Each structure stands twice: as structure tokens, then as C-alpha cells.
Structure 1
Amino acid sequence: MSSEVWEHFSVYAKDPNYAVCKYCKQNISRGGKSQTTSAMKKHLKKHPVHVRAASRSVSSSNEIIGENVAELKLVETETDSSSKESQPGHSKSIVHQTQPTLKDFIAKREKFKPGDTKSANITKLIGKMICLDRQPFSVVEDKGFNALVDHLEPRYAMPSRKYFANKVIPSMYAETVSSVQKTLSEAEFVSVTMDLWTSTANDDYLGVTVHFIDRDFCAQHICIEVVPFPEISHSAQNICSFLTRTLVQWEINDKVFAVVRDNARNVVAALNLSSFNHIPCLAHTLQLVIKDGLLSSKMVAAVTGACRRMVGHFKHSSHATKVLREAQKTVGSPAHRLVQDEPTRWNSILHMLERLYEQRRALALAATNLALHVEISVAQWELIENIIPILKIFDQATLQASKAGVNSSEIIPIVNSLLQELKKPAPVLSGLQGVKNDLFASLTERYRTLEEEEVYVLSTLLDPRFKGAVFTSKEKLDRAVELLTTAAQKLDLHKHCGVVQKQDGVPIQTGSSSGIWSLYSQIMPERLASIKSDSTAVDEVTRYLRDPTVNPDTNILEYWKTQSACLPRLHKLSKKYLCSPPATVFSERLFSTTGNICDQKRNHLDPERVKMLVFFLNKNLKG
């Protein structure tokens, strides 16, 4: 009687072939000569409460049965008759109970064997977590994380951090690279953004993102590399060679339509050595214009310096901050903190000036109770008031260029709108007319060939929201149309539309007057110029330009998706000329991500692992 079941039965005194249940006194057969306990164990399912109570007082060797019985799975089924439903107090009755076998119970606590599918899936999910949540590899050694995993799946054996770093992540990287390569192989034309970055560990990286329009006419943005840059010198030749090798490795070298780059001299020189079209980042260029025309002004520098010192005083004094809060309550100003500018971001100067001007009354009241070492005069407050609108139009343009979904078709509208705005006279006695003249001169010089370069011209013409309406003269528009017609004639298409009768010009739909379109509207005329038709390609261009421009909120890729039948040549060209972003924002975001990865917990990561983790984080690895 060594079986645990005898804790609940005794041998029937009159017939040893039967056992007596201690709870219901029922006689249970012991199986005759075989003397088995199967019938007794089956009977115990009727007494789960008694069994659980008894299991609390038995030794550890008896705990297995206690747990098995406690894990009984009770299956409820409703009795099948309307007569039973009518009985008082009738409810659902338990008619089936299942109990896992001892073998099943032990199996639930045995570790997975090598190669087990579920174990491999858990390991891969932990690898994804490390990538997507920017966790250090050492997370797999943390006691809390291991306790959680052990509770959720006791059979899983956590691999070491080296296994994740050397096996799991590289394997996932190889799989993902293969998937991205397949996606890129389907692209007809691509544009590239690139940037160089140095980590806190003084490792150099070249970031490359690829942009293209897929077969469904959806814009795709893919990070292909954050490549460790081993060359000692950032020379033009080294950058050019390295970028070319990267594009050849990804088999897109012959698909590159344009490269969007910053204005660093070595980068410009590198791309001049290459065979690629390249355009400067609009956001970087606008920053240089601001530096040339506004921040170089001694008058502006003096007022921004005073503002910077005032913000610094409140930032470094808790007492001054409390006094300012009380002053805000008294004068009814918003309870906002002051904003400190960042040397590398010109628009932070705008945010600093806007916040100070908002809080000028509260600051004046707070100054009466504080010993401030800096003061902003009435004349300087007036200057701040006049500087803010100038900076805001550049900020608005920069934000537009940095948005997802915006392409190079908006460079001409943005630049021409800014030039038009800068032509307006500055407020009388503001002292800012010279500043506006300098801004105008700098912007004009940096984009002196804006309406002559193919990338800008054709992308703008192929944007149905603009077409030819944003060019500054009829001569430049005619030249742009000639470039578009030539590009269309070079395409060898077997399917095209018939000739359409010549029509008069159609009024342009200027659409929304808010946001950036309030700037665009001032340079867009009421009608487009007439164009003569003498061939299939020219006729296609003519019909397209004669149609009214679409609403500003129109998805231009959706527009071109529907034009494959009636405008086949331009439909194909739109895939090429509308795939370039106007700024290097995408590649710069790579390094924002990289900076977050190379934090204090992971500042010893080698460049190859950084490359893999950044590659995953930028939308290549799906959560």
C-alpha cells in the first residue's frame, strides 16, 4: 500500500479485493488479482475538495497527487431537457472532469530539449524585444526578467547574452536583409539620403536610407545601412568610394535617381566625384540662410544673447522659478516654463523668443522681486516682436520639408514663397530691413539655379497640386515644360492615349489657405500658360498641364496611380521624380536612434552590432 491513493482509502475488512472511500464509504474494486489503484484514482475525482484538504498535510512526495487533483479541469455541460430547467434551483451541472496524468504533469516541468520549436520562438521574441525596446543584451541576465520568463514558461532555459549577441541577432539580421533586398529588387527608381555621424565611443558611421515608390504607388522609406566607416580620413574620395560600395552591395547602384545630402564640403565634393545626381538638404540650407542673414546681425545677436542669459538665470535658480510662477498667476500668463535655445538648432531660438515674449508681463513683475543681472529693454521687446514672424516662416518651411510624405516637388514652392515673403518691407523703424535683404540675398544665391535643374523642375511639374503655377516667369515655365516633354519622349511606351483637342487654360484650385499653403498661394497665378501639341508625348504633357491643379490635401501618389491609362508616360516619370525627399531627415533620424542605442548601458557595443540594431529599429523589423 505504498501508493499515495491510500491516504484516501482503506482495505474493506470483509473482502480485501475492495477498498473503502474515507469520504463517501463506497466500496471500490481493486481489480481482482491485479490489485490496481486505477478505479480508486478515478473515484477520487468526485472528491476534489477533500483531496485538496488532505494534500496540504502530506509530505512532499505526496504533493504531486495533490497538485494533479487540484488541477482538475471541470467541463460544464447543460442537462438536456426542458423538464429539468423547470425544476426549482436547477443549474448547470458538472458531468465531466479531466485530470492530467503524472507523466503530463512532470513533462510540464522538464526543460525544453535542444531544437524545440517553442523554445526557438521564445528566443527569437526575446531577440526582437532587445531590438525594438532598445534593451542591452545583459537584460537576459537580469533576475527580474528571468523570474518573469520562468513563471510564464518554466520549461524555457534562458540562453546567455553572448548567444543573443553572436547568434540570435545576426541570424535575424540575415533574414531581414534578405527580405529588404527582395523589396528593393522590385523598385524601378530610388533616391538616397546619406549622413555621417560619430558616436560617443568615437566610432564613425555612414547612414543611408533608400526611398522609392512601389508598384502600388505607395512611398517606401527603408534604412539599408548604418555602416561603420573604417577610413581614418573623411575625405571626398573615401566617402564617395564607401557610398558606392554600399549601393553596389545592395544592388541598387544603377537605380539611384538622386542623392539628398547635407552641405558639408567633403560630402559635396564626394558626390561631385560620383555619377549620381545630388541635391542639398532643404532644411540644412535654410539653416545656413538664417545664419547668413539673421544670426550674423549684431543687433539680433545682442537681443538673443540677452534672452539667453535671462532664461539661464531662471533655469539655474529655483527661487527665481518660484517667483516667476507666482508672477504668472498674478498677471494671468500661461504657467509655461522658459525655453533655452540649442546652439545646433536655429529654430530653438524662435521657441525661446516666443516663450519670453509670451511671458514678458510676468517677467517684468518677477524682476521687481529679483536681483536680475540682465534686462530686456522696451526697444528690444519690440525687436523680438518683429523677429518672431521672420523666423516663423522659415520654421514653417523647415517643418514642411521634414514631414513624412513630402518630396522634392515642394522645394520650388517653398523657396519661391520665402523669397516672395522676404520682399515685403520690414516694419518701419524696426531696423530689420537690412536683415530681410540679407536673408533674401543668401536664399537667392543658394538657389540661383533652382528653376533650371531637372530634379527640382520635373518633380514640381509632376506634382498635380502645383504643375507650372509656382514658377517665377513664363520663360522658366516654358523651359521646364520642354524638359518634361523631352523626358516623356525618351520613354519607350507601347500604350498611350489618342490626341485630345486643344483647350483654353483652366483656373487653378488653390484649395486651403492655411499653413504652408498660405505662403504658396501668393506665388500661384490664376491660369496656366497654353502649350501647343505636335506629338504624342507633347500631347500628354499638354493635357496634363491644362487640367486644373488638384486640392492641396490630395494624395499625389494616389492621383498618379489612377493615371496609368491616360497619361502612361507621365505616370512612369512620376515614379522617378517624386521619390526624393527634400531633406536628409530620414538619415539624421538614424543617428538619433543610434544615439539612443549607444547609451550608458551599451556604450561598448562594437560597430557591427550597432549596425544590426539600428537596421532593425528603423521599421525593417516588424513588432
Structure 2
Amino acid sequence: MSTSRSESSQPTSLHSSGHSGDNDEVTTQSRSSKRKQSVVWEHFTKVRDFKLPCRNTIRGHVIEVYEEEKIKVYKLLDGLGCKVSLTTDIWTSDHSHVAYCCLTAHFVDDSWELQKKILAFRKMSYPHDGETSFNFMKEMILEWNLDKKLFSIVVDNATNNDVMIRKVKDWILYDLLVARDVDLLHVRCSAHILNLIVQDGLNEIRGLIDKIRKTVRYLNKSPAATQKFEMALNQCNLAYKRKVAMDMPNRWNSTYELLATALPLKEAFSRLQRIDKNYYGNPSESEWIYSIDAHSYIQMVRDKLISMFIDYGGSCVVSVNDLNVISSSGVETRASLRDFDRWCYESRVLNNQKSELESYLEEARFPRANTFNILDWWKTNSPRLPILAKIARDILAVPATTVALEAVFSVGGRVIDKSHTCLLPDALEALVVADDWIRSILKRLFIMWNHLELKHIMLKVMTYKTIEGERE
């Protein structure tokens, strides 16, 4: 595949190794002029004797790593004894104005750990309708051999996604002759639905929000406008150093932050209109009153969500490696489960003639606690409830939202900056997807290292205590 288009747009300092002589080395001058973009780049600038390979060599290495890791991920998914849930969304680069579709697989692995793997970050052709989305989804499902493992697809609540899901259902049921119920296949993103609800309320003050957005754009337009706004702040005795940042119109939480930042500056905006003849469009007094009410209602929603996250989020962030809900080193935990163990032993004979579901439903519920990990519970009880455990493994992997894709789009935005707008789609996909796969491996290695380090420290402590005891 030709790379001439992307090569011509790259900074000279990144590709000087393609020439002979002194140009093979990255000069000090080019390093100092290069904007620092990451920790990796800062480290690179300190290695003065390092010769950067040419762009084709780097691109070849990236593609090679991607292909090697793809084989490993394919084997992992192919050997799973459970279903796989998918999330998908479309992102458009602000710099290249090219749309990319991200597809992520979610599943509970054989160790009962929740896993996420990006499968594709691929250029999406126009139009972004249901037919185009279906063709992409069909291609990816077949490429990863997931047609018989697919359990659910989580998407935003949009018409084109409804069409795509319906076509996927028809394709799986009729073209692939899969005889099973697919009612659970389509899951609408709960975060997107919540956003639509709040946005409907924000429409009541849309005029005010638009005025605040215009004000923010005006303040960021020139240093002169910023200086006059600072003058207005001083005249109003407002020592407010928090910058008024533009929100993202399709995200209600960022609009909340916009209102929370702008409301305390109401007087400064009015003063700015008096001292700056180029500024106009300051909200009226009645609009400010409406905005205060709207902000209070949005804050209620936000506070409720934070409260729910605190209540239910604790069990989601506790690592399976760090927690065992059945056994514990604490004396109190062991004592509290003795009655439960006795009940299990006494009722085992009676439950032999009952189905797994009947036995499961008759069991006493665990009290709600932040330390309870549902995956670890099913891991421990899967030998006793093998059929239900298999069902639970599929259901518990279904994500409630597509929020995880936002992090992927953030990575894509960092890769496609104004200096790399012509990066070829296959290279971009290799960078983003391979980064996700390698990071997940490093994360698991880091967790294992932490456990080994902890055991090593405990061994040292126990050895020290033993030696001290012998001396006494």
C-alpha cells in the first residue's frame, strides 16, 4: 500500500533517517522545536545518539506487532466457553474529518475476570446509515468468527442503529440458521438515554446556553478579549481563576460544568458588555434566573448519579485477584460464614432432587456490601451451579453503556493531531488496537508483580519476626 500521501505531510525531524549523512541523526535544533506531546517523546529527546528509523520501517513494525497480537486475541476469543457482547460507535476526527467505527468485545474469561478487547478501529464510509453499519458489523463478526458467540450489541439510541440491529438479527437467524432467541441482542446505551432525557430539559434554556457558548468563543478568540474580561472581573471584585471552557453540546455533564462555571460570573458578563463594544449577546436577567433553576435540576441528577456510583461502584472496582467472598484471612469473616456453611451441608441432601434454578432461588441473599464481588461469587459456585454459572457469565459481560469507547476515541484524537492528518487508516487502526491489547497484558503483569512483591515483603516480615523471636 502506498504511503506517499502520509509521508509528505510528516515533520522532517521524524523522518530524517531516510536520508544519508548527518541528516540520519535527529538534530538538537529539530528536537527543541518539536512540541512535547507525550512522556515517550520527552524520553526520546533525551537520547541524543538515537537514530530514528525511517517512517516505512516504523510503520512496518507497527503493522507486524498488530498482526502478531491479533492472532493471539483471535485464539483467545475462539477458545472461550462463553458468549461475547459487543459495543460500537462512530467517531469523526476534528483534523482529518474522517469517520472511524470502533468495535469492542466484552466477555468474562475462564478465570471469571471481566475483559475488554478492541477488535477494530476502522474507517467508516458514508452515509452512516443502518445499511452501512450493518455491512461493517457483519464483516467484523465474520472476521473474528463471532457469529455463533454473539450475545448482545450495545449501541446508542439512534434510528440507524435500530436498522443495523434488525439486519444483524435477520442475518443471524435466517442466513446463518442459528436457532435461538435473540431478544437480548439489542441493548441501548443507558448513558445515551439519560443524556437524551437531560438534553430535553436543557432545550428549555437553549437560547441562554447558546449565548454563553458564544461568549466563551469570544473570550477565546483573542488576547484582547481575554484581557477585557479580566478587567471586568476586577471591577466586579470577582477573584475567579477558573477558566470558562466550551462544553460539548451532546454531553449534558459538560453543559452542567459550563453553567456551573458561568453562573458566578454573571456580573462580569454584564460589565464586559459595557466596557467592550465588540461584545454583545449577554443573557438577560430573566434568562439568568432560568439558568439558575436549570442548573439546580441538573445538579440533582448529577448528585443522584454520583450517589449511585458510590453505592454500587465499590463492588465493580474491587479486583477479583484481591477478593474472595467465600474465604478470608479475617477471623470475623470466617466466623460469620460458619452458619452458612452448616446450612449448605444440612440442606445438600434435600436439594439433590431440585433443579439448579430452584436451589439457587431458595438460597438466602447475601447482604449488600461494597466488598461483594459478583464475578468471584459465581466463580466459586460454578461447580455447584454449572448451568446457571454459564448463563450468568454471558449476562454479566453485557455493558450498560458505550462509555468505554470514549477512551478509545480520546486515543484516536491524540494519534490524529494536526501534524498527522494524513495517517493511513490501516496504520491508525494498528496503533489504536495494538495499544489496547498490549496495555491489557501489561496491566495483568503489573497486578501479578504487585502480588509477588507483597508476598515477598510478607515473607521478609515473617522471617524477621522468627529471627527476633529466636534471639529473645
RMSD value, Cα: 4.1
Give the whole-Å Cα distance in 1 for the aligned partners of 2:393 and 2:301: 29
Quote the residue 2:430 is aligned against: 612
Quote the residue 1:222 is aligned against: 117
Q: What amino acid sits opposite 1:574 in the alignment?
A: A
Give the whole-Å Cα distance in 2 for the aligned partners of 1:497 and 1:248: 47
Q: Does residue 282 in structure 1 map to residue 282 in structure 2?
A: no
Distance 1:370 1:286, change over 3 A: same
Superposed displacement of residue 270, structure 1? 1.1
Superposed displacement of residue 258, structure 1? 0.5
Distance 1:370 1:174, change over 3 A: closer
Which structure shows the higher helix fraction? 2
Q: Does residue 168 in structure 1 map to residue 61 in structure 2?
A: yes
Q: Deviations over 1:514-566 (max 9, x none)?
A: xxxxxxxxxxxxxxxxxxx993233333235x414421453332333333345
Quote the residue 1:249 is aligned against: 143
Match of 2:14 among 135, 139, 148: 139
Q: What amino acid sits opposite 2:72 in the alignment?
A: S
Relative to the length of structure 2, the TM-score reads: 0.64
Match of 1:579 among 390, 397, 400: 397
Q: What amino acid sits opposite 2:112 in the alignment?
A: F
Quote the residue 2:413 is aligned against: 595
Quote the residue 2:259 is aligned against: 353
Superposed displacement of residue 220, structure 1? 0.9
Q: Deviations over 1:571-598 (max 9, x none)?
A: 3322111112111122343333223222
Q: Is the 8 A contact 1:500 1:539 kept in 2?
A: no
Q: Does residue 303 in structure 1 map to residue 208 in structure 2?
A: yes
Superposed displacement of residue 138, structure 1? 6.5
Give the whole-Å Cα distance in 1 for the aligned partners of 2:294 and 2:162: 32
Q: Does residue 179 in structure 1 map to residue 87 in structure 2?
A: no
SS at match of 1:389: helix
Matches within 5 A, 1:98-497: 139-141=14-16, 146=26, 159-165=53-59, 167-187=60-80, 188-199=82-93, 200-229=95-124, 233-275=127-169, 277-291=185-199, 293-297=200-204, 300-312=205-217, 314-316=219-221, 317-327=225-235, 330=237, 333-360=239-266, 373-376=280-283, 378-395=285-302
Distance 1:196 1:398, change over 3 A: farther
Q: Deviations over 1:324-372 (max 9, x none)?
A: 44257x35x5422223333333332211211122334665677776666
SS at match of 2:120: strand
Give the whole-Å Cα distance in 1 for the aligned partners of 2:358 and 2:163: 40
Q: Is the 8 A contact 1:236 1:270 kept in 2?
A: yes
Give the whole-Å Cα distance in 2 for the aligned partners of 1:279 and 1:294: 24
Match of 2:355 among 536, 545, 554: 536
Give the whole-Å Cα distance in 1 for the aligned partners of 2:66 and 2:299: 43
Q: Deviations over 1:394-441 (max 9, x none)?
A: 4467789999x979x9xxxxxxxxxxxxxxxxxxxxxxxxxxxxxxxx
Q: Deviations over 1:452-480 (max 9, x none)?
A: xxxxxxxxxxxx9xxxxxxxxxxxxxxxx
Distance 1:498 1:582, change over 3 A: farther
Q: Deviations over 1:293-330 (max 9, x none)?
A: 31332xx23433444445455445123322244257x3
Q: Is the 8 A contact 1:236 1:266 kept in 2?
A: yes
Quote the residue 1:61 is aligned against: none
Structure 1 unaligned spans of 5+: 1-134, 410-463, 465-495, 503-532
Distance 1:396 1:227, change over 3 A: farther
Distance 1:603 1:258, change over 3 A: same
Determine what percentage of the aligned residue pairs are the same residue: 21
SS at match of 2:116: strand
Superposed displacement of residue 271, structure 1? 1.0
Superposed displacement of residue 259, structure 1? 0.4
Q: Deviations over 1:185-226 (max 9, x none)?
A: 343221100123344445443210011111222211111111
Give the whole-Å Cα distance in 2 for the aligned partners of 1:364 and 1:587: 40
Matches within 5 A, 1:537-576: 537-544=356-363, 546-552=364-370, 554-576=372-394
Q: Deviations over 1:210-250 (max 9, x none)?
A: 111112222111111112345x5444334223212212211
Give the whole-Å Cα distance in 2 for the aligned partners of 1:344 and 1:388: 17
Distance 1:158 1:312, change over 3 A: closer
**Aligned positions, number:** 363
Give the whole-Å Cα distance in 1 for the aligned partners of 2:167 and 2:346: 44
Q: Deviations over 1:466-513 (max 9, x none)?
A: xxxxxxxxxxxxxxxxxxxxxxxxxxxxxx9985799xxxxxxxxxxx
